[in-house]
Structure 1
């Protein structure tokens, strides 16, 4: 049975399958949980735990990259056993536990260990979840499904910082460190609700794939390998979100004001991800990915030279649009290229390549920040994205 038939026969809501809708709800809740803590993490590292710029930048990069080695492995395992839901549940459960436990950290090592556990959870769930989305989508509409999922994920990211701001306002009389710890603890609540949704309502689709695994033939395609090289280059220009908040702090804005900028970024992301997914199905995913690298370069240049509020707001808006394209369209592109029996493996390969190059990206950005200034960190990113754009032009149309 092809994924078009599955999507057609399954109950739909908002023009997408019920399964994709439920996975969107799960991501909304989980990202609300994650983004309740994300805006305070940079300040927690530097102000509470007292870590320096290079270590803080490297830790943030390590956190982003930590899950990469697990993504292709668990994508392959979920292909082998034709079970997606179990890996999705385990991955989200580990992340929920790790986020709540941050309330008890006392050193950068404790912090990194728990954030690593969170990222391992992400590594376990990501490829099986994306494969499940692909298997639950109508043929030719993978961009729409992934766009909806990224939109829901990012609406959670909009809600998370706002909830955190509300909590911090309520706890205004407490020492900053104690308030941060309460936010960490409360972030586990939406994560626990998302686990119930997975357990009770999400349905597996992997068992409907009848073919045996006969090899990862798609990965031998030279054009796919070229695209993965583009992904690697683009990832070198993908600095952690923490650098954007450090830029706002450098310009004199408080942590709470930084949360407002971060909410703006996520709002732009949420509003654009779904239409980007739909238009990528119509206009071509290669064109949309290429445009994304151009937007990324513009966002980096705006952050590099931001000296006033208007430029900084524009930078966060461009950053939101860039991440919406980069987090949506390549997943759908890889899902379209993958054969039914290896969707988890192929999508996992994309995530792994991307994740492996995100770590050096933030380490380089941290080094440039420490040695020169944040301006050079963003200029490096702009250069990498422009190189990725040029290389993307060499990838043949599909």
Structure 2
């Protein structure tokens, strides 16, 4: 559904957000409930029950993102080549749902790595076709709002999942494995909504072309690579939330209450993502992204020195604001900078590049934590956030000039 005129004339009604976007948002929400029930307790389980080090936790987190993003790249090429998004989305969500059965059975770090790899391959396969479906059904003038809405629904899952984890931990006297078993239920529900509630978007007029070639995917324009470059520095500055979770133990939380830090973070993130997406449709993205990086720098500085629960919670609020101000925007920026036939490849390249960066960043953060103490990775993150702000300001000026 491609509208020739981007931007709504004054006084005209903005188009409604399509049902497909809502349905994909609900699928994301349920999968995220399941995912967060596992992820919020996994770093504690790895360190406490399986004896892993901070560096190993960082490596596992980084590796899972890298696996996901390599898969995302291939999945993006496939979407552009086949012009079909739903079958891949079903495969991706299905693998994620299946991986839930491995976590409670894992008695060693290697099985956890296998389960996370499976979960992340699933995440990698589904991310690109899902973003391509959102882009395909959303008129250009509400694209930011559509991406923001899907993100916001996704984040409600990030809010409910940790709450359920805390509840089960309280009822089951801190039994992490029971939480892992129960996480399979929302994953199965997500599959049902996706299979029965989401339709493959109709073709984009002449978008079905013969002879899609890899060389075309590599010919993405400078604007796309500019967004990818800035996103890479942002991803380097924002390492895994696993470290935020481990920090909560130092700030005085008991394991049962650790997932609450994610509840607060996701509540702030969810409340911010949709309004920020809508605002970006009106005023553009650069200023909002600069704000997101200021929030990230503040989060890092507060968490570096968080010795008490309240200071720590303030840090997670800043982190949530950063996520709300940046996540939907990067997707909308890529969608805006890319010609129609190459949307899947652009999201693929974006995900592949940022994935490699995250593997590097997380492993380094784990090493800093282990070698110099928990404050150092956060201080380095604050410095990188400021560097990203500088690059974004320069890049924004260049884009205006171009």
Shift of 1:310: 3.1
Query: d(CA) in 2 for partners of 1:25 and 1:222?
Result: 34
SS at match of 1:204: coil
**Match of residue 222 from structure 1:** 222
1:169 aligns with 2:170: yes
Matching of residues 267-282 of structure 1 within 5 Å: 267-282=267-282
1:312-345 CA deviation, whole Å, 9 max, x = no partner?
A: 1211101001112222100011011121111111
C-alpha distance in 2, partners of 1:340/1:37? 37
Alignment of 1:98-137 (within 5 A): 98-137=99-138
Q: Which residue of 2 aligns with 1:386?
A: 386
Residues 66 and 356 in structure 2, CA contact (< 8 A), matched pair in contact too: yes
8 A contact 1:4–1:138 mirrored in 2: no
Q: Conserved in 2, the CA contact under 8 Å of 1:28 and 1:156?
A: yes
Against the structure 1 CA distance between its residues 219 and 276, is the aligned structure 2 distance closer, same or farther, given a 3 Å change threshold?
A: farther
Matched residues in 2 for 1:161 and 1:315: separation?
A: 18
Equivalent position to 2:186, from 179, 183, 190:
190
Please tell me whether the aligned partners of residues 25 and 194 of structure 1 are also in contact (alpha carbons under 8 angstroms).
yes
Name whichever of 244-253 and 116-125 sits farther off: 244-253
Equivalent position of 2:316 in the other structure: 316
Q: Is the 8 A contact 1:272 1:321 kept in 2?
A: yes
Matches of 1:294 and 1:209 in 2, distance apart? 42
| Higher deviation after alignment, 308-317 or 356-365 | 308-317
Rounded to whole Å, the distance in 1 between the matches of 2:281 and 2:379 is 32
Q: Is residue 50 of structure 2 the alignment partner of residue 54 of structure 1? A: no
* Structure 1 length-normalised TM: 0.93
Distance 2:150 2:380 in 1: 30
Post-superposition shift, 1:96? Answer: 0.7
Contact 1:61 1:360 in 2 (8 A): yes
Residues 134-154 of structure 1: per-residue CA shift (max 9 Å, x gap): 111122211100110111001
1:250 partnered with 2:250: yes
Tell me the distance in 1 between the aligned counterparts of 2:3 and 2:177. 44
Question: Is the 8 Å Cα contact of residues 3 and 135 (structure 1) preserved in structure 2?
Answer: no
Q: For residues 214-249 of structure 1, give each alpha carbon's deviation from its aligned partner in whole angstroms, at most 9, with x where no partner exists.
A: 653784423332332222222111211011111110
1:338-353 map, 5 Å: 338-353=338-353
Question: Within 5 Å, which residues of 2 pair with 1:299-378?
Answer: 299-378=299-378
Task: Tell me whether 1:292 sits opposite 2:288 in the alignment.
Answer: no
Residue in 2 that maps onto 1:44: 45
> In the aligned structure 1, how far is the partner of 2:390 from the partner of 2:179?
43
Alpha carbons 2:79, 2:344 under 8 Å: kept? yes
Asked if 2 retains the 8 angstrom alpha-carbon contact of 1:101 and 1:185, the reply is no
- The 3 A distance-change label for structure 1 pair 233 and 121 is same
Higher alpha-carbon deviation: 344-353 or 218-227? 218-227
Determine the structure 2 residue equivalent to 1:210: 206
The CA distance in 2 between the partners of 1:63 and 1:218, in whole Å, is: 25
Residues 232-285 of structure 1: CA deviation (Å, up to 9, x unaligned): 222111211011111110122112222112110111011111101111111111
Deviations 1:14-34 (A, max 9, x none): 931000000011011000010
Report the equivalent of 2:11: none
Q: CA separation of 1:220/1:319 partners in 2, compared to 1, >3 Å: closer, same or farther?
A: same
In structure 2, distance between residues paired with 1:3 and 1:62: 40
Inter-CA distance 156–230: structure 2 relative to 1 (3 Å threshold) = same
In 1, Cα distance between the equivalents of 2:205 and 2:156?
A: 32
Instruction: Please tell me whether the aligned partners of residues 219 and 225 of structure 1 are also in contact (alpha carbons under 8 angstroms).
Output: no
Residue pair 2:90, 2:195 contacting (<8 A) in 1 also: yes
**TM-fit CA distance, 1:100:** 2.3
CA–CA separation in structure 2 for the residues paired with 1:304 and 1:374: 7
Structure 1 residues not aligned, in runs of 5+: none
Preserved CA contact (<8 Å) 1:300 1:378: yes
Gaps in structure 2 of 5+ consecutive residues? 9-13
The number of residue pairs the alignment matches comes to: 388
Task: Supply the RMSD in Å over aligned alpha carbons.
Answer: 2.1
